[in-house]
Structure formats: structure tokens, C-alpha cells
A and B are shown apart, each in its own frame.
Chain A
Amino acid sequence: MNPDFTQDFFALFGLPRAFRIDLALLDKAYHGLQSKVHPDRHAHLPETERRLSMQWATQVNEAYRTLKNPLQRARYLLLLNGVDTEHESNTSMPAAFLMEQMEWREAVAEARAAGDHHELEKLMLRLQHQSSDIRGEIERDLDEKKNYTAAADALRRLMFIEKLEREIDEALEALES
């Protein structure tokens, strides 16, 4: 028999279903659950039980990963509200935003080619400000206005920003080694 994983991730951790989340409480609930289900707690027991424990610990890790990361959390909340942003075909973006993205990308490529560590870090900082603004937008859309279409739009923009952040990370890593 497989464990019943129908419970949503927020309920699993005893947290309210909202984008705004108390990370300290999430950590505490996560640790509390893992200390019950983790395979290390069941290592001395026979096979069936160890497998059940691994399935549960895997699920708790998945739930934690999803809720801890703002982008994943937003996507999951949208999914719970019937908006699937992972398999959508509508990916149209405002032209102004796309223009801005292209400028960002050029700036990153230039700094990377010039090996300009300082410039890359400056770009990263600016991006982080922007993504923080978008997260605020998502929070208002999801938790207050319940405007899921607007939240999904903001989420798509956040995905672009995170992709750029990863590129800068890789560029910085390449410069270091």
C-alpha cells in the first residue's frame, strides 16, 4: 500500500494556504515531520516499513522544497486554484518587458566577456531588487485580490528574472575557477 499523499503541502505542514508564509514556522514544521518519518528513524525496522518511511520522507522534502521557494510556492498555489503555469501554451509577454529582458541579457553577456566581476555583482543586486518587487506583486494578487490571471503573469516575469540570476551565477562561477 502506498501512503496517501492527497493532502496539500500547506495542510501537511499545518500552515495557512497563502503566498505570504512564515519561513521559521515552515522550517519548524518540516523538522518536526522529518524527525517522525525520516528513514534514519526506521533503519532498524524491516523492509516494508523502511520503504514507507522513504516514501514519506521524499514527499515531505518535496513539499518543503515547493513551499520554501517563492516561485515554486506561487506556481503551486496557482495550481491549487486551477491555473497550471507549467503546461500552459499562453506565454505571451508585454513587449516592454521583453525589450528590457534583451537589454539585461546584453549587459550580462558584456560583463561576462569583459570578465567584470564587479559589474556582474551590480547587475545581480539590481535583479534581486526587481524580483523582490515582483514577489510583492504576486503576494497582493494571490493573497488579497485573488486575481490569479495577474499572479500568473507576474510569475512568468519572475521566471525570466530567475533565469537571468542563474546566468549571472554561472558567469561568476566561471570567473572564479
Chain B
Amino acid sequence: MALLQLSEPGQSAAPHQHRLAVGIDLGTTNSLVATVRNSIAVVLSDEHGRSLLPSIVRYKADGSIDVGSPAQGAQALDPRNTIVSAKRFMGRGLKDVAHIESMPYDFLDAEGMVRLRTVAGVKSPVEVSAEILKVLRARAEASLGGELVGAVITVPAYFDDAQRQATKDAARLAGINVLRLLNEPTAAAIAYGLDNASEGVYAVYDLGGGTFDISILKLSRGVFEVLATNGDAALGGDDFDQRVYCWILDNARIGFPSIEDTRRLLLKAREAKEMLTSHDETPINAVLGSGEQVNLTLGIDAFAEITKTLVSKTLAPTRKALRDAGLTVDDIKGVVMVGGATRMPQIQHAVGEFFKQEPLTNLDPDKVVALGAAMQANVLAGNRTFSDEWLLLDVIPLSLGLETMGGLTEKVIPRNATIPIAKAQDFTTFKDGQTAMSFHVVQGERELVADCRSLARFELRGIPPMVAGAARIRVTFQVDADGLLSVSAREMNSGVEASITVKPSYGLSDDEIAGMLSDSMQHAGDDMQARSLREQQVEAKRLIEATEAALEEDGMLLAAGERAAIDEEIAALRKRIEGSDHRAIKVGIDSLNAATQDFAARRMDKSIKRALTGHKVIELKI
């Protein structure tokens, strides 16, 4: 549509209902959902009062699915069908997944993303994540008493395009409208910054169950500007468990463990890690399936020693982020700790030593991301109040480029560029009469294509035959505010065009998602027709509401004839809403949207001019 809901400070926007929106932290170990209620961000709990949902999904032979605590209890009993830490597999091929040897799953190396064979069939990590999201969505709808307008879903800042796309697909599968993918450290910074009215440059050190992020942000007058981000998308608390597990195998006199015992010992390892956040030593006792016993004591110094290399693996990205931001540790005003794994004393010690200051831990490191996401969701849904006027400027974590001759990468968009961003690069044909050109889109910092992540391959066909070097092919990369890339290529002389949203090689195709969606709806007894109709009706009503508000505010930007045309479209759409054909309503929506495009552009221009007269205007000397 076309209308911008703009309001100047002191003026309120058109009155509207409070829209139900949530922030979801889809974590490796635990997931949470939060919302803003009476201007305060709160984490929503289940009927037992638990706020953390263990990110564990168990597929059962009868087709039913357990998520959270019930699945957690079955980990050691039914390890093959009980999927933990599925986030580690999102957008990943089999060769990318670490510690695969100690995982109890039956992996399938499908094209692009790894799959898991369970008793209920082959599952993609996207489907597993969707099960977690469905539970959180149901929790939110029960708690808020209505259908959600949308959700902000957080992702590690260092997630690449394939991992982001997989996360968005999971939300779509769970029937959630994604308002925005938000970087986890940025979400934490919102919750922290707004809570403390902070100003200055802050570092957010976020060590979760399976991912590590470091972000450097500048906070000034309600603007959160990410200067640089770095990290390791395969490093987290799980790896500390893994080290303790290996230590147990080295020190206990036991044989090679079964997959059930592996799961049992990994749980013991995690318990030991958690105990050591508040104790100097911890016993590790277990009885294995074979009858063998483990009776060990792990001290805090030994724990620090076996995990030393993991801790230093977080400091290298931290140095790089500072360097990219053009800053030194002396410029950092505070260090915010996020993620359950930052409770480990050796982490707090190492971070404190690196930044030469005590890290900030006054917000619950498990909840701060969900709370920040909820605050952002509230703003994005349009529930804006005067005090919510903050602006978020985030960056892309990894460079995007194209493969050139000799398997080399040509960077098109550099890492840490503020999004949204678009860049174009021109290429030409190298053979006489060449009519097609293929492109390989990659992401990463390395010079060799083989060392970067392959995102997609596509081909521009139908180039008119010309002598070598005469064609001018412009490839445009556009990264949106979710950090997702789309690429288009165009031959400038003839106008031949090819365009793709980057997903094929490491994501699910649209057809696959549509198939999964209809499967899951049949399973839930949902009527797809009725659902589509309801969705289109809601969309149409919102469009009319927003259009009328815009007409009231800026109707003077239109000539009488233009105004009449829009009014006619509104009346026509109103009629269509009464009917029961969702396609007809969609046509009406598109038609009203088309009719208001010019109006929207004029409103945008007006608001831009107003932004400039807000501060002192300098005389132009041209």
C-alpha cells in the first residue's frame, strides 16, 4: 500500500488497537517468547510457570511430537528421535557440523541442508525448529488472548544468509509472520540500553549454547548503531559440555559408550559445568547401560584448563570486531554479557581482563535477548508511543561476493556494511556470440571460493550475440533489513533480466515449504481455505484503515481526481471483504496498493523534507 504512518513528536498517530506482537529467542539450548504489556517487556511462561522452553523435539512412532521438558526427559532413552540443539544444523551441510561422531542421530546428507531420519520420517532442521516455534506461538496466543500480528525472531549476528533464510522458513512453517530477523546482541543492547538510558560505545559479548557473537555498538540519543560484529556460528556452551564429556571418557575406566550412554554423559557434563559456576568442584556420578560406573570429581581449575582454548577462541573475533570498528578497548564504555554460557567464571574473568573492566551482568543473560526482541516487535507492529522512538542501524556480518575466474572471490558487499544496502557490479562476456552467463554467489572473507559458503548459482540467458566484451551485464546485490540477500542480473543493452532470492543451494525451495505447510495443516485439522480467507480479510481491513488515516493526514497532497480514484478503490475492496473468495480480496488489495503508490512516494518525500527542517538548515552554496 502506500501510506506511511508518520507522526511528528507531540502528535499522535491515528488511534488503533494494540497489535499483538512478540519477540522470540530461538536458542540452541532454550527458547523464549516475550511481549510488551503495559509498556513493560515480560517473558511469557507456560501453564507451569516455566519461561525457558528447552529447544528439544522428540518424534514418536505414533506421529505425535513432544517439545520442551517432556522431550528433554526422553533424551537418554530415545536419543535417535530426540533432537537437541537443532539450531546447529540450520542451513548447514553434513560436513559443516562439528562433533558429528558423538551425535546419536541418523543423518542424511541431503542437498544443501542436512536431514535427520526419525521414527516419524525424515526431518529437516527447519521442521524441527518450526515445532519449537509452534509451541511458543501457542503459548503467546493463549497468554495474550488473540492471534499474533507477527514476531521478531532473533538470530546470531554471525549467522550467514543460509542460516537466516532457514530461520525465516521455520517461522513461516510455524504460521508466524516474521516482522524482522533481529541479531541477538542487538536485541540485548536494546533491552540493556533502554533500561539504563546508556550513551557511548558498548560491546555485547554473547555466548549461547551453540553460537558466539561479539557486537560493538554506539548508543546515542536513541540510536543503536552497530559499528562491527564478528563471531563463530559454531561455538557455544555445548562445546564446553563436549570438553567435559571427553574429560570423563579420559578419566573414567569405561568402554566406548553407546549412544544412550553418550547422551547420559553429556547431560552429566552439562550439570557439572553448571555446578562449577557457583562451586569450586563438582562430583560426576553415573551408572551406564553396561553397568559400568563413573565416579569422578571435576575441580574448577581443571575445568578452566580443559576449556582454555574455547575461551581464547572467543577473544580472536572480539579483537577483529574492535579493529573493524576502528576502536581499542579503551573506547569501550561497558561490556554487556549475554547467553547462559557467560555465567562460567572463566569467561567472566577472561572478558574482564580483555576489556580491562568488570562486565555488566545486571540483566538475566538467558532472558535479555527475548526482552529486547519483544520491545522491537512492539515498535515494528505499529504500537508506537512517543517514548519508543529509537532507531536500530545494524550491519551484515560477512562479506558477499561472486566467483570470478580461477575460483577467486570478488567481494561485492563488504562485511560490517550498514543494512539495507545495494551494490552493483558490471561484468562482460569473454567469448564472441556468448548468450548466457552463470553466476555463483558466495559469502565469507576468504579469497578462495572453496573457503567461502556457497549461497546460490544462477544463470542469465538470452543475451543477444555480440563480440566478446561488448555486453554489459550488471549484477545487483540487495541486502534487506533482515540481512537477507537477493541478486539480480541484467544485460544493460538489451534489458534481458534474471533475478533470484538467494536460497536454492543451502535452503528449502518454496515448493518444499508449501508441501510441509499443507502437511502440517492437514495434521492439525486446519482448513487452509478458511485460514487464507481470514488472513486476506485482516490484511484488507488493515490496508483500508491505514489508507484512510493517511488520507486524513495528507489528503492535500492529492488532486481531486486522484483522491476520487483512491476512494473508489477503498469502496471496491470493502465490497470484496464481504465475499468469501480470498483470491478476489487479494486482487482488491493489490489494486488499492497500486492506486496509492504515488501518494505513498509523495508522503515519503514530505516526511524527508520535514526531517531536514527539524534541525538547523545550512544555506546551500552551490
Contacts and interface: CB of A to CB of B under 8 A. Distances in A.
Interface of A: 1, 3-4, 10-11, 13-18, 25, 28-29, 31-49, 52-54, 56-58, 61-62, 64-65, 169, 172-173, 176-177
B589 interface: yes
B6 interface: yes
B149 A37 contact: no
A54 B481 contact: yes
Nearest to A57: B420
Contacts of B382: 43-45
Interface stretch (B272-280, B509-517, B554-562, B612-620): B612-620
Interface string B573-594: 0000000000000000100011
5 contacts: A32-B614, A40-B180, A43-B381, A52-B2, A54-B481
B30 interface: no
Contacts of B316: 176-177
A31 B618 contact: no
A33 B393 CA distance: 12
Contacts of A32: 611-612, 614-615
Contacts of A1: 597-598, 601
Most B Cβ at <10 Å: residue of A32, A42, A46, A169:
A46
B371 interface: no
Interface string B1-41: 11111100000000000010000000000000000000000
Q: Is the interface of A mostly helix, strand, loop or mixed?
A: helix
Contact of A36 (B380, B381, B608): B608
Interface of B: 1-6, 19, 149-150, 179-180, 221, 223, 316, 319-320, 323, 376, 379-382, 389, 391-393, 417-422, 478, 480-481, 539, 542-543, 546, 589, 593-594, 596-598, 600-601, 604-605, 607-608, 610-612, 614-615, 617-622
Contacts of A41: 4
The 8 residue pairs across chains A and B that have the minimum distance between CB atoms: A44-B382, A43-B380, A39-B481, A46-B1, A14-B612, A32-B611, A58-B420, A35-B391
A31 B223 contact: yes
A11 B392 CA distance: 24
A77 B622 CA distance: 12
Given A32-B611, A36-B6, A40-B379, A46 B422 contact: no
A36 B379 contact: no
A48 B1 contact: yes
A28 B615 contact: yes
Contact of A39 (B420, B594, B620): B420
A61 B391 contact: no
Contact of A47 (B180, B319, B593, B612): B593
Contacts of A34: 391, 393
Contacts of A29: 611-612, 615
B380 A58 contact: no
Contacts of B323: 169, 172-173
Given A52-B600, A177-B316, A44 B149 contact: yes
B389 A16 contact: no
Contacts of A15: 618
A1 B429 CA distance: 31
Contact of B179 (A10, A35, A38, A43): A43
A33 B612 contact: yes
Contacts of A58: 420-422, 478
Given A34-B393, A40-B379, A45-B3, 19 more contacts: A14-B615, A14-B618, A17-B621, A33-B608, A35-B389, A35-B391, A38-B391, A44-B5, A44-B19, A46-B593, A48-B597, A49-B1, A54-B478, A56-B604, A61-B420, A61-B421, A62-B422, A172-B323, A177-B316
A31 B608 CA distance: 12
Nearest to B16: A44
A48 B604 CA distance: 13
Contact of B618 (A3, A16, A38, A47): A16
Nearest to B596: A48
A35 B319 CA distance: 31
Contact of B380 (A4, A11, A44, A52): A44
A16, A33, A35 pick with most chain B CB within 10 angstroms: A35
B543 A46 contact: yes
Contacts of B593: 46-48
B619 to A, nearest CB: 7
Most buried by A among B382, B597, B600, B615: B600
Contacts of B620: 10-11, 14, 16-17
A15 B612 CA distance: 10
A49 B4 contact: yes
Contacts of B379: 40
B539 A46 contact: yes
Contact of A45 (B5, B320, B622): B5
A62 B612 contact: no
A17 B480 CA distance: 30
A43 B3 contact: no
Contacts of A42: 4-5
Most B CB atoms within 10 A — which of A34, A44, A47? A44
Contacts of B617: 14
Contacts of B381: 43-44
A28 B382 CA distance: 24
A12 B617 CA distance: 12
A28 B604 CA distance: 19
A40 B601 contact: no
A52 B6 CA distance: 14
Contact of B418 (A48, A61, A169): A61
A57 B481 contact: yes
Nearest to B394: A40
Nearest to A27: B220
Contacts of B480: 39, 54
A151 B3 CA distance: 44
Contact of B611 (A33, A40, A46, A64): A33
Given A31-B223, A38-B481, A57-B420, A176 B600 contact: no
A177 B131 CA distance: 40
Nearest to B317: A177
A31 B611 CA distance: 9
A170 B149 CA distance: 46
Contact of A17 (B319, B391, B622): B622
Contacts of A44: 5, 19, 149-150, 179, 380-382
A38 B382 CA distance: 14
Contacts of A25: 615, 618
Contacts of B539: 46
Given A45-B5, A58-B422, A16 B543 contact: no
